[in-house]
Structures are given as structure tokens and as C-alpha cells.
Amino acid sequence: MTIVITAFERSPDGGQGLARDTRVRWALEEVGQPYDVRLVSFRAMKQPAHLRLHPFGQIPTYEEGDLALFETGAIVFHIANRYGGLLPADANARARAITWMFAALNTVEPPILELVTAKFAEGDKPWAGERLSRRPDFCLR
């Protein structure tokens, strides 16, 4: 059964691989599973056909027969469960690896994204200096 993932037709980073489909491609490459990539435009991502695969109109998505998934964490976890080689067999070691999957998505990624936004996307705004000097306190959010 051919696995099909979606990716940007025109990547905002000019094809440097910084979009989140990289995580899914990487996992599939690690487990040695072949896959096809369907490239979607920003317009197509917000149309019903794509929204049926991804309720937020984003990439990547993952299709495997009747199964359609979105969210890179869920997709990578599915790949890790279905194909060997990404997660340890020992139950405790597996739980620790899954802990790091959640940490990457919930604790590591958000402040990195915020920094990138504050520095590069909004670095020229008048509030940028003040925002960058603030220490993030995740319990207050």
C-alpha cells in the first residue's frame, strides 16, 4: 500500500526542508518505507478536499489506504508503531522515547517558534526588543 504525504508546492523557505513534512519524510526514510509526495498549494490546502485530511488546512498529511492522519507527532508515532526501528522494544525505554516525542512538540518547539517569529518575522517591529528580552514563563500561559 503506497504511503502518500503532502508538502508545500512552493515552500516558503525555498525548499530548504524546514517545513514540517521533513519530520515525516525523515521517519519514513529511517524505517525504509517508500512514499509518494503530493504537493499542495496554499490555496488547495484550504479547500474541502484537503480539509478532509487536515482540519486546520495545513501540511503534512499522511495517507495509507483507508487511514488519513495529520499532526507530525501522531504521524511519526504511527510510523514508529507500525514499522520497526524507531522505538525501543523495552517498555520503559519506549515510554522514555515517547516522553521525548511529546517534549519535542510541547516544550522544545513552541519557544523556538516564538523566538524565530520575534527575531526574524517581527524583528523590525517597535516592540521586538522588549519582547525578546522577556523570559518566557510557560506556567502563566
Ligand X SMILES: N[C@@H](CCC(=O)N[C@@H](CS)C(=O)NCC(=O)O)C(=O)O
Interface residues with ligand X (CB under 6 A)? 19-20, 45, 57-59, 71-72
Q: Quick one: 62 or 118, whose CB is closer to ligand X? A: 62
Q: Quick one: 20 or 25, whose CB is closer to ligand X? A: 20
Q: Quick one: 88 or 100, whose CB is closer to ligand X? A: 100
Write out the H or E segment, with its range, that includes residue 118.
none
Query: Given phi > 0 = left and psi -120 to 50 = alpha, else beta, which region is 6?
Result: beta
- Identity of residue 14: G
Q: How far is the CB of 57 from ligand X (least distance, A)?
A: 6
Cα radius of gyration (the chain): 18
Q: How far is the CB of 28 from ligand X (least distance, A)?
A: 15
Q: Quick one: 18 or 93, whose CB is closer to ligand X? A: 18
User: Residue with the closest Cβ to ligand X?
Assistant: 58
Distance CA 31, CA 82 (A): 10
Tell me how crowded residue 38 is: count the other CB atoms within 10 A of its CB.
Answer: 16
Q: How far is the CB of 59 from ligand X (least distance, A)?
A: 4
